[in-house]
Chain A
Amino acid sequence: MRDVRDALMVARNTDGKLVRRPLSPHLQVHRWPVSMALSICHRISGVALGAGTILMTVWLAAAASPGNAFAVVQSFLGSPLGYLVLFGWSLALIYHFCSGMRHLYMDTGKGFEPGEYDRSGWAVIIATGVLTVVVWVFGLLAG
């Protein structure tokens, strides 16, 4: 026991054996409502966007550098792999954006009723899909 508070986490099971009480959240025993999936996806997309900022930094730094660094970066972004990276980046950004708006709304203390809680969750998923398609349609038509 490393901490006195751990004493509260030790108990005996029905066989009298000493066990550690499970810590919340109990991911294995609960059904996954849409909000649980959205919540962890918000984190995952946030971390992914952190990697995406490296891409933005490379793009800007290359543009500000002499030589052909920028041409190399632009040709990578125009390649099939580059499009895949950009697609993942746009999906993560638009998802984090939509889910973040839902979190900001819930920060005002609203939207926690069971029906609305689920509906706003599905709205995030649908909005992410629609906006990603719209951005790519405009992106591919532009230029």
Chain B
Amino acid sequence: MAQPHNNAHIDIMRSPLGRARGLGSARAGASHWWAQRLTAIALVPLTLWFINAVIHLKGAEQTDIIAWLSSPLSLTLMLALIVATFHHLQLGLQVVIEDYVPDHAKKLISILAIKAACVILALICIVSVLKLGL
């Protein structure tokens, strides 16, 4: 039987320099992973619904879009699709940038720019569908 103090080194998996620099887990990985999966699951039915809706809106006039979004169900599902899509997108693009951009400053700026772009695009979509449907 190993004594508890013999296992103490297992608690320190980071180099002292890494610890001094504050490198290592930000303790936010699990919530990021979980949000990515939850939005993915939400997008399974929403995507199927959206593909079907887009097929039926082929060559639509503005009045057809207004008629489609005037239904509270369509408008609600469209808002859910927009929120889930852009949340999933910014989480995914963040990981891609973290993997491929080693420079800290460039990484931070790219991630912030991506998140800002996702928020703005999502808001444009939300304002547009509300304007059409309400």
Contact = CB atoms under 8 A, between A and B. Distances in A.
> Do A and B associate with each other?
yes
A60 B128 contact: yes
Given A60-B124, A138-B55, A139-B58, A93 B15 contact: no
A104 B40 contact: yes
B71 to A, nearest CB: 15
Interface string A90-118: 10010001001101100100000000000
A142 B37 contact: no
Interface residues of B, number: 31
A50 B89 contact: yes
A143 B40 contact: no
Contacts of B51: 90, 93, 135
B124 A57 contact: yes
A101 B44 contact: yes
Interface residues of A, number: 32
Given A50-B93, A57-B121, A78 B59 contact: yes
7 pairs of A and B residues whose beta carbons are closest in the complex: A64-B128, A60-B128, A64-B131, A63-B65, A4-B17, A143-B58, A139-B55
Given A4-B15, A142-B58, 19 more contacts: A4-B17, A47-B93, A47-B96, A61-B124, A61-B125, A63-B65, A64-B127, A64-B129, A64-B132, A90-B51, A93-B47, A97-B44, A101-B44, A104-B37, A104-B40, A135-B55, A139-B58, A142-B56, A143-B58
